[in-house]
Amino acid sequence: MMDETLANHLAALLAGRLSEAETDALLASLTPDTATFEQFTTLIAAVRATACPLPELAEPVFDCCGTGGSGRPHFNVSTTVAFVLAAGGVRVVKFGNRAATSTSGSFDLLEQLGVPVEYPPERLPRLLDATNLAFLYAPQCYPALKAVAAARRRFGRPTLFNYIGPLLHPLHPGRRVMGVSHPRMQAFIAQWLATDPRTHRAVVVRGHENRDELTPVGTSVLYEVTPRRIDKRSWTPLDLPCDVEAQPYTPEANLRQFQDIVTGRDTVSADYHSVRLNAGLGFVAAGRTETLADGAACAAELLASGEVQRQVETFLAHVHR
């Protein structure tokens, strides 16, 4: 399908003007194993064109999020990382959603914390100035995606829609860490970021067993992206002791785990080390530290000192004002 024809079909899809048969045929052409990079970029442009306006911000922001799609229940690592980075002075606006294929998405955990899902956009600059942190709910920013959600559920197989979410961030963060669960999509996302003139520095990571985060066990693959440049490397932790006991990873269980980590009660679990390492990667991408080791040490100190817990308390106090 030519780009112009695809763009027209996507506009019709997002407007709810396609039949079920037409929708299924279009989705079948957008599978992650067969779609082209041109189709990938055309889809992103089509969806981005439907974004609701947001207030202008005086300073650039950082994002940390994952595509999901590993097929495994997991802890909300990137959501917890957002609080760690904010405690370390990074201005974070995390873009996220409820769970699609896992048991607990970013906003499932935030709801457990008492955070409003649809925060008034006009209040975002004040919240960010007061706390270094804000969260954007994807369906609030892109109402047109609601027209696609039912069709995607009916189609029943992953498509490019499963992987473009982090690239739809309406504030165009120039620095970010993105976790991706699909090898081909990881390469596409890195390529897209490298050609986006707003990218200053990004890290696109795929962990052990195709998890959408840097993992404290096994080997992770990283694409380090700067303008017009991509450097690919592998990273393996050396003798990192951690408790890998299985968890239920429901929203309620993840809330308990979140509280244990941010209060410093948990310093041994795989989830704790995932938060520490991914926050470390965030500090590198944000330009706060030179190395992952230094960034992870900074994250560990923020957690141990109570700074992250104070960040959580400050954020929750301001988000309800």
Encode 116-146 in three state secondary structure: CCCCCHHHHHHHHHHHCEEEEEHHHHCHHHH
For residues 36 and 139, membership in a common domain is answered with no
203 near 231, Cβ under 8 Å? Answer: no
pLDDT of res. 245: 61
Q: Note whether residue 56 is domain-resident.
A: no
Give helix then strand counts, H and E, for the chain. 13, 7
Please indicate, yes or no, whether residues 68 and 203 belong to a single structural domain of this protein: yes
In this structure, what CATH number is given to the domain that contains residue 209? 3.40.1030.10
Q: Does residue 284 form part of some domain?
A: yes
Sign of CA dihedral 156, 157, 161, 163: positive
199 and 298 housed in the same domain: yes
pLDDT score, position 73: 75
Q: Residues 35, 147: one domain?
A: no
Residues in the chain: 321
Q: Looking at the structure, do residues 237 and 95 belong to the same domain, yes or no? A: yes
Residues 26 and 69 in one domain: no
Secondary structure in 3-state letters for 49-106: CCCCCCCCCCCCCEEEEECCCCCCCCCCHHHHHHHHHHHCCCCEEEEECCCCCCCCCH
Residue 107 neighbours by CB under 8 Å, 6+ apart: 96, 97, 98, 115, 117, 135, 137
How far, rounded to the nearest angstrom, does the alpha carbon of residue 254 sit from its chain's CA centroid?
Answer: 17
Q: Per the domain annotation, does 105 fall within a domain? A: yes
Give a yes or no: residue 135 inside a domain. Answer: yes
Same domain as 239, residue 310: yes
* C-alpha–C-alpha distance, residues 91 and 287, integer Å: 12
With respect to residue 53, please indicate whether it lies within any of the assigned structural domains: no
Q: What is the pLDDT of residue 246?
A: 64
Q: What is the mean pLDDT of each run of 10 residues along the chain (321 residues)?
A: 84 94 95 97 97 93 92 89 99 90 82 94 96 97 91 91 96 98 98 97 97 95 96 88 70 95 95 97 98 98 99 97 86
Which pLDDT value is given to residue 145?
92
Give the range of the structural domain holding residue 30, as residue numbers without chain letter.
3-48
Q: What is the pLDDT of residue 321?
A: 86
Looking at the structure, tell me whether residues 31 and 140 fall in a common domain. Answer: no
Do residues 92 and 11 both lie within one domain? no
What phi and psi, each to the nearest 5 degrees, are found at residue 94? -90, 130
Shared domain check, 114 and 250:
yes
- 15 and 100 co-located in one domain: no
Instruction: For residue 57, tell me if it sits in a domain.
Output: no
What total number of domains does the chain contain? 2
| 8-state DSSP, 208 | G
**Rounded alpha-carbon distances, angstroms, from residue 76 to 28, 96, 104, 261, 294:** 30, 11, 7, 11, 23
Let me know whether 84 and 159 are in one domain: yes
Task: Please tell me the distance from the alpha carbon of residue 135 to that of residue 116, in angstroms, as a whole number.
Answer: 10
Phi and psi, residue 211, nearest 5°:
-80, 150
The pTM of this model reads 0.95
In a domain? residue 130: yes
Asked whether residue 55 is domain-assigned, the answer is no
- Quote the pLDDT of residue 101: 63
Q: What is the pLDDT of residue 214?
A: 97
